[in-house]
Chains A and B, each alone.
Chain A
Amino acid sequence: MELSSARELKKLVTKSVVQPFVASAVTRRVLSFAAQPIEELEGSHRTFALGIAQKSERDYRLAVRVQRHELRDSSEVARIHEMARGEVDVRYVGRIVKQVPWYQSRERPLKIGLSIAHYLVTAGTLGAFVRRKSAESVLVLSNNHVLANENKAKKGDAVVQPGPFDKGKKGKDSVARLEEFVPLKSTGSNVVDAAVARLTDKLDYDPRDLQSLGRLAGVGEEITSIGGAVAKIGRTTGLRLGRVTAFEVDNLVVTYGIGNLRFDNQIEIEGADTLSFSEGGDSGSLIVDDAQRAVALLFAGGDHGGSNGRGLTYATPIDRVLTILKVNMVS
């Protein structure tokens, strides 16, 4: 049939078959529902999704996507077939769920870039796996404000993956316990926003996997020039590329829950092309150079500035983070 006819048929089927069926089914309670609070039954119900399919260049069909198993051979489908005189493409598609990216999901083994947080914090990013000098146990590295709730957490507090904002729960999703944080200071200058949590025994992890970037290749040299290409994998924006726009940034004023804090000696990065380098939730991401060597730990950013106008990101040189926490990268 012609495209205009397919569109007309779609309208007609919506009005004469789908809408009456939904109204009637809800009233008669013929659709199966999982046990849940009654108020959650409000809203749309899975029945039939209608669209237009194409058989050849100028030959169109009504597309019917059946979203419930019990409706596959229903009288409604038979009626649609009849109305379309057979010019219909019916497929069972079942439940359609929102796609959640891997870095916001529950993932084992643990990897760099995953959603993680103290059980009372929304979500940040698992930056890296580190180890105390001459110690066996493995620690996860992120920010104080991700793992230690801006100084409010206690040693031993649960850290969950994914973070609570991504439905991680204390207990079943606990992966580590807070080990140490560098206190954030409301007066004077801060150097790092960093914390480590001790990984649960026998939990599987991959300390070098950087997804499509390759494998983490150790620690890079200190950044003392601009323009260098960098990348990170973070809980909110995943893999993003960027370039250094300033280094040794002092008097960096960052808004926290506990007030405006000052940081010295930080790195500034803008996003490549038309994207930001990071957004809220990417805190704690490990930043690597173009040879996949760790160069900085991301902790803050804003929505303005940068040559593409998508905001700037701030990060602490990784050697400073490792030195202050007295840890080495696990390789």
Chain B
Amino acid sequence: MKGASLEKARAAKGHALAIFERVAPVVGVGITQTNDGYALKINLRSRPANVAFPDTVDGVPIHIEVVGEIRKFADTSRDAGP
């Protein structure tokens, strides 16, 4: 799928967020790149079952990644400690 221009990808972010957050726990919408242009990266906390996601939004390719919970990184609770 052909990548979009950077301006087109920026313009599609809001629409993509509106579409995805209706059906999935979105934790980030960013811009990434394909071989020949730009795409949107939709980060999900988890992937809901039985939901079909669009491949493009406003002509901009969509890349979906499940990234889990994002947390502040001063949390050393999983550190073995001194």
Specify which chain B residues have a CB less than 8 angstroms from the CB of A251 in the assembled complex.
17, 21, 26-29
Chain B minimum-CB-distance residue to A315: B73
Residue pair A123, B70 in contact (C-beta under 8 Å)? no
In-complex Cβ contact of B82 among A165, A245, A246, A252 (8 A): A165
Specify which chain B residues have a CB less than 8 angstroms from the CB of A278 in the assembled complex.
73
Specify which chain B residues have a CB less than 8 angstroms from the CB of A298 in the assembled complex.
73
Chain B minimum-CB-distance residue to A305: B67
Residue pair A299, B72 in contact (C-beta under 8 Å)? yes
- Near A by CB (< 8 A), chain B positions 52-82 give 65-79, 81-82
Q: How long is the Cα–Cα vector from A145 to B76 in the complex, in angstroms?
A: 13
Residue pair A283, B72 in contact (C-beta under 8 Å)? yes
Chain B minimum-CB-distance residue to A263: B28
A41 within 8 A of B: no
In-complex Cβ contact of A301 among B6, B33, B73 (8 A): B73
A236 within 8 A of B: yes
A227 within 8 A of B: yes
Residue pair A252, B78 in contact (C-beta under 8 Å)? no
Residue pair A250, B29 in contact (C-beta under 8 Å)? yes
Chain B interface (Cβ < 8 Å from any Cβ of A): 6, 10, 13, 17, 21, 26-33, 41, 43, 45, 65-79, 81-82
Chain B minimum-CB-distance residue to A234: B73
- Near B by CB (< 8 A), chain A positions 263-279 give 266, 268, 278-279
Q: How long is the Cα–Cα vector from A314 to B72 in the complex, in angstroms?
A: 9
How many of chain A's residues have a CB under 8 angstroms from any CB in B?
54
Residue pair A165, B79 in contact (C-beta under 8 Å)? yes
Residue pair B26, A280 in contact (C-beta under 8 Å)? no
**8 nearest CB pairs, A to B:** A249-B30, A246-B30, A304-B68, A305-B67, A283-B73, A124-B74, A283-B74, A253-B27
Specify which chain A residues have a CB less than 8 angstroms from the CB of B66 in the assembled complex.
304-305
Residue pair A281, B74 in contact (C-beta under 8 Å)? yes
Q: How long is the Cα–Cα vector from A300 to B66 in the complex, in angstroms?
A: 16
- Near B by CB (< 8 A), chain A positions 140-198 give 143, 145-146, 165-167, 193
Contact with B along A300-327 (1 / 0, CB 8 A): 1111110000011110000000000000
Nearest Cβ distance between residue A6 and chain B, in whole angstroms?
Answer: 33
Q: How long is the Cα–Cα vector from A225 to B6 in the complex, in angstroms?
A: 10
Residue pair A143, B74 in contact (C-beta under 8 Å)? yes
Residue pair A255, B69 in contact (C-beta under 8 Å)? yes
